[in-house]
Structure 1
Amino acid sequence: MKVSMFHLCPYRDLPADFEKRYQSSVVDPPFFEVANPEQAGRTYNETLDELIHAAKAGLDGICVNEHHQAAYGFMASPNLMASALARATRDLEVAIVVLGATMVNASPPLRVAEEYAMLDCISGGRLVAGLPLGSSADSNLCYGITPIEQREMFREAHELLRKAWSSRESFAWNGKYTQLPLVNLWPRPIQQPPPIWVPGAGSLSTWEFVARNNYSYSYLSYFGHQFAKSVMDGFWEFVDRNGLEPNPYRAGFLQLVVVSETDAQAAEDYEKHLRYFYDKCLHFPPHWYAAPGYMDHPSLVRAVRSQGAITQKPWKDWKFKDFVDNQFVIGGSPATVRQQLEEAAKSLRVGNLMVLLQIGSMPHELTLKNIDLFAREVLPHVRHLWDDEWENHWWPEKLRGKRNAGQKEAAR
């Protein structure tokens, strides 16, 4: 199993009454009322330091992502962050996982192909290229993309990206949404092509796109593996119906994880930061999850049936134990976390596991502690999963061998 540290880059210093004063942590939170540029700068640099620390501690990959106008995660350009990480980890066997740069938000989307090619060259062929459709809040509300056109725009941009990476000759591109007189991409990626992961939330059309192109599907959720079970069971049923190899590396999952010396100490260390994440970071109106036209019909049906965890917010009065017992969070002593994490990976049958090790308001030093304990006491016990049976075709080829946790001494 390949295990990567995922980082949202949340703003860690929102006012205590933020969720009572403002309607949302995304799209319209007033920056100058709740934040300041100097603190934002510190957060960006702490985020980079935390991901580099995870790479040195022995995690297989480090993950960045894209969101806009959001205190929940204000990494507006994941490729800027990834370029710094690629350079800083040039001597480490760690994948740079960008989940991902949103093609429909770029004009022209060829820019994503260019920047991904740059990242693959800077990293020496260590890029995992994420191709997200883009959230409705980001693309429709912040960037003005027409919801009903978004999937068609994404598919056209994907074809342009793949052709730009591989074509030996320059070409004109006359699409419905993008027209370019001469495409001649400089540079080209070292990997031909880089492995591609497609994040999703259970959409049938995303599964079909992933299957048609032989990509890896990443289910990103903050509600734990129990909530994800029906989605991933549906994905594996789809894989079986379509005669695809049931390789666990065909799928990835994001899990919140917190580790401390004991279960009791974990509750003391992390409870208030979990509350900050669920109360403040995930504070936004349900209707901003999907503008009309954003979802196709099968996806809309699935979303309506499963939206309870999002709209009803059952965590309103939860303590640390409730987050763990309800399996939203895997947390506790190393032994507790090892057991829960292995059970989750096997239950969902995922080979590419992403762990959120900085959560909400978690400060820098506590994040480093979480990374160190995870890398030293948990990672060596779970990364063996699937390796004896399957090859990870969706990982940079030069990094497919086994990597030992702590291969490089973790340094602050």
Structure 2
Amino acid sequence: VAHNAPPHYNRERFEEAHDFIIKAWTTPGPFRWEGKHYHYRYVNPWARPLQQPHPPIWIPSTVSVETVQWTARHRYPLVLLATKLEPTKEAFQLYHDTAAAEGYTSGTQNVAYLFKVHVDETEELAEQAGRKYLSGVSNPFLAGNEGAINPAIMNLPGHTSRSSRRLAATAFGPAGRFGTNRRPYEDQVGDYTIISGTPKTVLPKIRHVLEYLRPGSIFFWDGDGAMTHEDQMRSLRLMGEEVIPAVREMGKSLELFSPFEVDPGTGKPLTSEAGATSPVAEPANA
């Protein structure tokens, strides 16, 4: 709508934009681009990436069936963003099934997950800070604090297919990510979409997520909503001192390998002699 482009062309525009960027990264100019949606008479990318054939590409998604399948066909890592565990697992399986149909075996290196994790010094502080995910400046991507969003605008006809809307309903609720439902804190804690506590109580929950989804990379979404600077700094300190080292060991024991630890040619884990490192979770502010 904002770009005066019919929403039912979103998928085509995205895929053509991807192809154009790849060409600009990998093909010496000048060249001409005449696509269905984009037209550039003169393209001369004189500052091409040093990394060959091009920098790594990771695709974030909120359980769009078409995006999951497209990502698998291109062998890009898929990152699901704060979705419930069951539809996330279903989307990961769809990726693996699509990969098999494309003639290759995907693994933990192909799937990643972002979820809300806050660590604090006491359970009381953790709950106080965790509830702040649902307050403060409204954020359409922050469950429980979406603000006043018209679902008719956010879900225009053509934006998503029926299969994607079905999966989104299980991932975010009957009205989807941008619907009118407001999930309370207790519900999000109950289904692991918010994990908040001391390191002692947080680590078993993180392990449950890792065992259930088996992602090769994870990202912690912290410091959002109405959290203060002090809330964030306490969590970051405990993340670095206790949580991330423990999660690294979990990754080793569960054999969860990131794309940086797997040979892209064979799909097998790199040996320590070849320079592989341990899986690690990084805190991420969204």
TM-score range, shorter chain: 0.7 to 0.9
1:378 deviates by 0.5
Contact 2:109 2:259 in 1 (8 A): yes
2:259 pairs with 1:392: yes
Q: Which residue of structure 2 aligns with residue 375 of structure 1? A: 240
Contact 1:262 1:334 in 2 (8 A): no
Structure 1: distance between partners of 2:170 and 2:239: 35
Contact 1:224 1:256 in 2 (8 A): no
Contact 2:29 2:46 in 1 (8 A): no
Question: Which of 262-271 and 179-188 deviates more?
Answer: 262-271
SS in 1 for 2:155: coil
2:183 pairs with 1:315: yes
Structure 1: distance between partners of 2:46 and 2:240: 38
Q: 2:90 is aligned with what amino acid?
A: S
> Given the superposition, is the C-alpha separation of residues 297 and 226 from structure 1 closer, same or farther in structure 2, using an over 3 Å criterion?
closer
> Given the superposition, is the C-alpha separation of residues 237 and 314 from structure 1 closer, same or farther in structure 2, using an over 3 Å criterion?
farther
Provide the aligned C-alpha RMSD in A: 3.0
Per-residue displacement from partner, 1:335-385 (whole Å, max 9, x unpaired)? 211111121022112112111111211122211221121121100111241
Pairing partner for 1:349 from 214, 219, 225: 214
The runs of 4+ residues in structure 1 deviating greater than 6 Å are none
Q: Which residue of structure 2 aligns with residue 263 of structure 1? A: 123
SS in 1 for 2:259: coil
1:153 deviates by 1.1
Q: Which residue of structure 2 aligns with residue 166 of structure 1? A: 26
> Given the superposition, is the C-alpha separation of residues 225 and 404 from structure 1 closer, same or farther in structure 2, using an over 3 Å criterion?
closer
Structure 2: distance between partners of 1:288 and 1:335: 43
Q: Which residue of structure 2 aligns with residue 362 of structure 1? A: 227
Give the number of aligned pairs.
258
Matches within 5 A, 1:2-401: 140=1, 142-192=2-52, 193-221=54-82, 223-226=83-86, 228-276=88-136, 278-281=143-146, 283-304=148-169, 307-308=173-174, 310=176, 311=179, 313=181, 315-316=183-184, 318-319=185-186, 322-384=187-249, 385=251, 390=257, 392-393=259-260, 401=276
**TM-score after normalising by structure 1:** 0.56
> Given the superposition, is the C-alpha separation of residues 273 and 180 from structure 1 closer, same or farther in structure 2, using an over 3 Å criterion?
closer
Per-residue displacement from partner, 1:263-300 (whole Å, max 9, x unpaired)? 23311333244344544345423323321111134323
SS in 1 for 2:183: helix
Structure 2: distance between partners of 1:373 and 1:154: 39
Structure 2: distance between partners of 1:388 and 1:229: 17
Question: Which of 167-176 and 239-248 deviates more?
Answer: 239-248
1:169 deviates by 4.4
Structure 2: distance between partners of 1:308 and 1:251: 25
Contact 1:169 1:184 in 2 (8 A): yes
Per-residue displacement from partner, 1:109-166 (whole Å, max 9, x unpaired)? xxxxxxxxxxxxxxxxxxxxxxxxxxxxxxx3x3333201111111111111111111
Per-residue displacement from partner, 1:154-189 (whole Å, max 9, x unpaired)? 111111111111113421111122222222202111
Identity of aligned residues (%): 26
Contact 2:132 2:224 in 1 (8 A): no
> Given the superposition, is the C-alpha separation of residues 285 and 229 from structure 1 closer, same or farther in structure 2, using an over 3 Å criterion?
farther
Structure 2 portions without partners, runs of 5+: 137-141, 265-274, 281-286
Q: Which residue of structure 1 aligns with residue 272 of structure 2? A: none
**TM-score after normalising by structure 2:** 0.77
